[in-house]
Each structure stands twice: as C-alpha cells, then as structure tokens.
C-alpha cells in the first residue's frame, strides 16, 4: 500500500464527475426551481422506476422519512412484527408512529427475519410485518406474503440495502405492499441523503405524493396530516448523474467481494456470506462472522486490531436494536427470544467495501486478518 497513513473506512461514497454536476447546477440556478416536484425530481422518478424495474416510485429526502411515511400511507397502527437485526431507523420509524415493535428472531445465516417464527408473535393488535433485506439478501418474500395473506397483515419492506437486487427474474422491490429505499451517502446508490417509497398502483403513488408534501392534494385541499419529506432538485439532479454510473460501481464492488471471498473462505473461524445465487446481488456490505474458538481471537480483538492498522470496519448490526434503552423493556426484546440475532450480532464485522477500494488495499486487509489469527 502506498499511503499507509490514510485510514481505510468501511465505505466511501461514489460521486458523479463534478463538471457534470456543475452543468446541472447551472440549470437549477437559471430556473430558480429548487424543490416541489421540479423537473429533475420528475425525471429521476421515471429513470429510477425504469432502472429498478418497478411501476411507481416516490422520492423522499431520506430513507427514514420514507419508512415513517410508508407506515402512514397504509395507516398502520397497534403492533408490527419486525427484526432486531437492522439499523435503528427501522424501529424508530415504528416508534414515531406510536406503533409497538414486536421483535422476531432472524435466520442464523443471512440475518433476515425468520418466517417460521412470525406466526407465534401475531396478536389481535398486529397490523403489519416490516422485514429488512439485510445486506441486500432478499428476505423470504413468499413465505412472508403467505402469512400476511392468512392473517390480513400488510407488508412493508425496509429495502435500504436492496437497491438493484433482483430475485427470481424481477426486482425484489415488487414484493410486499410497499418497499422503502435509502439513498444515503453510505449506500450503493446515493443522492447525498435521500430515499424513496416503491408502490404498485397509481392510487397509492398519489397518496404517497400527498403525504410527503403536507397532505396537499391541490392549492387549497389538505387530505391528510402529511409531513415535509420531499426530495429537492439539487439531490435529484445529482441522483440522475449517479444513475449513469451505478452499474459500473456495483461491478467494482463485486470484484472487491470476490477477492475477499476467495481468500477469507480459507481462514478457519471466519464465515463469509455467500450471497443467494438466485439473487442478482448489489454488494452493499462485506460482513464476516467470526467464531472465536476457531479463529483464536474474539471479534472485538480483531475489530480493534484492524483499527490499529488504520482499517475501520463496522459492527453492523451490533448492538441489536432490541438492546437500546427505548426498546429493551419490551417482552419481545428478551435475549432468550432472539438467540440467532444475538449470535450473529456478537460475531459480525463489516469490512471495507466500495468501488474505489484498490486491490492492494483489499489484499492488505486480508493479510492483516490472516496475520492476527491465534
Ligand atoms: C440506511 C438505512 C436506513 C435509513 O436510511 P436514511 O436514508 O439514512 O434515513 C433504514 N434502514 C436500514 C436498514 C438502513 O441501512
């Protein structure tokens, strides 16, 4: 490695060429149209729907407001079944809607909500299921839908990790009643901050568009207590440029992941995550799961050692959301209810992965993990 002193962070955002962005900024400066369903907002909705292979998409200022609003769109109340193995925004969005989260354990391999454990958590107050496609690996959408249909529940996917993921020949975003995306700087496709709701019919799209703009249906009609969660023109213009490079960026991520796969799979005590072959993957994270007996060091020892070598992984998702003070006292948050989630949360480190991560840097990270083994 040439620049030993420069830290390698878990991710680094892909950005469009500055000169291309400046051209679009000039356009915005000329028009003085900064937000409120401007032309870039409209263009990006069309372009993203086509790229992703979905019918309707509504852009938001971030993924958390998209999810918080999605729950309002379907008027979800009472209790919602969800996963503790996620980013806090999933659960906080329920909380902000006055909904009680009910945690259900995950499968021990992918960390996705375990459908076999959902039914036991359903009560008369349950209205919906909010699963996450963790690390871009599709949740078991068919089984989840079967349960939802049986019990009359809605399904809203937190698909923040699943931009561009296809399963069984179509976008994973086409499953469930709604899906939300995040376009935060750390995600595979970013608009600096940003997000979206994906829906399947025009009526719902209309309702979403009202709700993200205070509930205005026209100049003088307010149909619901909406919020302000619109994406602005600067973000949308940036997002249009990003779309030209996202395929190439996912390919670069894939190349990084393949080097890791090849070398790390040889190290005893390190489990890598083979992405599901039936899915067209997007390589958003590179999680490894460490078995401390086999590896000879604990997860945190390796995590801290890498930091001393200027390599900054992240323990996504540790601690579990169910361990945070505002959720810890819920019955469903008891560790005995969530054994698999606790296990993987104790084992995981997400290693650096991003399009510009050089092969030498990847090799250096691998070398350090080999070196440190007990
Ligand atoms: C990033 C993320 C979010 C939140 O998205 P923001 O755009 O940062 O608000 C929600 N859920 C998951 C699983 C995420 O990874």
CB distance 216 to 224 below 8 Å:
no
State which of 70, 135, 182 you would mutate to test the pocket of ligand 1, scoring each by most atoms of that ligand within 8 A of its C-beta. Answer: 182
Q: Is the pLDDT of residue 176 over 60?
A: yes
The SS3 assignment for 292 reads helix
In this structure, what DSSP letter does residue 121 have? G
Over range 119-129, report the average pLDDT: 98
Percent of the chain with pLDDT over 90: 95
CB-ligand 1 contact for 63 (6 Å cutoff): yes
Short-list 107, 174, 98, 110, CA closest to 141: 174
Ligand 1 centroid – CA 159 distance (Å): 9
State which of 62, 90, 160, 317 you would mutate to test the pocket of ligand 1, scoring each by most atoms of that ligand within 8 A of its C-beta. Answer: 160
> Helix 359-372 and helix 299-308: axis angle, to 10°?
130
Ligand 1 centroid – CA 50 distance (Å): 22
Rounded distance between C-alpha atoms, residue 175 and residue 297, angstroms: 41
pLDDT-derived band at 5, boundaries 50, 70, 90 = low
The answer for residues whose C-beta is within 8 angstroms of residue 140's C-beta and 6 or more apart is 112, 113, 115
- For residue 4, the model assigns a pLDDT of 54
The answer for residues whose C-beta is within 8 angstroms of residue 196's C-beta and 6 or more apart is 48, 57, 58, 59, 60, 63, 66, 180, 181, 183
Give the atom of ligand 1 at the shortest distance from the alpha carbon of 187: 1
pLDDT-derived band at 245, boundaries 50, 70, 90 = very high
Q: Tokens 């561009």 map to which residue?
A: 164
CB-ligand 1 contact for 182 (6 Å cutoff): yes
CB distance 282 to 137 below 8 Å:
no
- For residue 1, the model assigns a pLDDT of 47
User: What would the two tokens of residue 312 be?
Assistant: 């900054």
- For residue 48, the model assigns a pLDDT of 98
CB-ligand 1 contact for 92 (6 Å cutoff): no
Give the atom of ligand 1 at the shortest distance from the alpha carbon of 93: 10
Give the atom of ligand 1 at the shortest distance from the alpha carbon of 161: 15
Rounded distance between C-alpha atoms, residue 340 and residue 110, angstroms: 10
Give the atom of ligand 1 at the shortest distance from the alpha carbon of 182: 7
Angle value at C-alpha 63, between 58 and 67, nearest 5 degrees: 80
CB-ligand 1 contact for 271 (6 Å cutoff): no
CB-ligand 1 contact for 160 (6 Å cutoff): yes
The answer for residues whose C-beta is within 8 angstroms of residue 169's C-beta and 6 or more apart is none
- DSSP state letters, 22-87: HHHHHHHHHHT--SSS-HHHHHHHHHHHHHHT-SEEEEES-HHHHHHHHHHHTT--SEEEE-SSS-
Rounded distance between C-alpha atoms, residue 40 and residue 45, angstroms: 8
User: What would the two tokens of residue 68 be?
Assistant: 């918080």
Q: Is the pLDDT of residue 291 over 80?
A: yes
Give the atom of ligand 1 at the shortest distance from the alpha carbon of 64: 9
Query: Quick one: how far is CA 270 from the chain centroid?
Result: 24
pLDDT-derived band at 158, boundaries 50, 70, 90 = very high
Short-list 160, 103, 117, CA closest to 135: 160
Over range 36-55, report the average pLDDT: 98
Helix (H) or strand (E) holding 180: strand 178-182
CB-ligand 1 contact for 44 (6 Å cutoff): no
Give the atom of ligand 1 at the shortest distance from the alpha carbon of 186: 1
CB-ligand 1 contact for 90 (6 Å cutoff): yes
Ligand 1 centroid – CA 336 distance (Å): 27
In angstroms, the Cα distances linking 151 to 123, 142, 145, 205 are 10, 14, 10, 25
Domains and CATH numbers, the chain: 18-105+112-243 (3.40.640.10), 246-373 (3.90.1150.10)
- For residue 279, the model assigns a pLDDT of 79
- For residue 277, the model assigns a pLDDT of 73
Q: Is the pLDDT of residue 216 over 70?
A: yes
Give the atom of ligand 1 at the shortest distance from the alpha carbon of 86: 13
CB-ligand 1 contact for 64 (6 Å cutoff): yes
Short-list 65, 112, 115, CA closest to 92: 65
């Amino acid at each position: 490695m040439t620049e030993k002193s420069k830290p390698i962070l878990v991710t680094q955002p892909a950005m469009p060429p500055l000169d291309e962005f400046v051209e679009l900024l000039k356009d915005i400066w000329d028009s003085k149209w900064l937000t409120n369903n401007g032309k870039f907002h409209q263009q990006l909705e069309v372009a993203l729907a086509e790229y992703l292979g979905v019918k309707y998409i509504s852009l938001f200022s971030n993924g958390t407001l998209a999810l918080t609003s999605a729950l309002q769109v379907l008027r979800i109340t009472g209790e919602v079944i969800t996963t503790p193995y996620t980013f806090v925004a999933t659960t906080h969005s329920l909380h902000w809607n006055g909904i009680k989260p009910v945690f259900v354990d995950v499968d021990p391999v992918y960390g996705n909500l375990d459908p076999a454990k959902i039914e036991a958590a359903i009560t008369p107050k349950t209205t919906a299921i909010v699963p996450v496609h963790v690390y871009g690996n599709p949740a078991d959408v068919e089984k989840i839908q079967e349960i939802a249909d049986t019990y009359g529940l809605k399904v809203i996917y937190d698909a923040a990790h699943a931009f561009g993921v296809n399963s069984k020949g179509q976008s994973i975003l086409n499953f469930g009643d709604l899906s939300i995306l995040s376009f935060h700087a750390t995600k595979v496709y970013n608009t600096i901050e940003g997000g979206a709701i994906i829906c399947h019919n025009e009526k719902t799209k209309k309702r979403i568009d009202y709700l993200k703009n205070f509930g205005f249906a026209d100049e003088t009609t307010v149909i619901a207590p909406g919020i302000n969660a619109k994406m602005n023109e600067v973000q949308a213009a940036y997002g249009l440029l990003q779309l030209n490079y996202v395929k190439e960026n996912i390919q670069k991520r894939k190349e990084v992941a393949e080097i890791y796969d090849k070398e790390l799979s040889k190290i005893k005590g390190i489990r890598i995550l083979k992405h599901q072959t039936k899915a067209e993957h997007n390589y958003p994270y590179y999680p490894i799961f460490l078995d401390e007996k086999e590896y000879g060091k604990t997860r945190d020892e390796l995590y801290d050692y890498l930091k001393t070598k200027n390599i900054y992984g992240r323990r996504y998702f540790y601690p579990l959301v169910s361990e945070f003070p505002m959720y810890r006292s819920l019955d469903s948050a008891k560790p005995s209810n969530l054994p698999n989630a606790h296990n993987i949360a104790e084992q995981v480190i997400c290693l650096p992965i991003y399009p510009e991560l050089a092969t030498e840097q990847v090799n250096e990270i691998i070398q350090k993990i080999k070196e440190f083994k007990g």
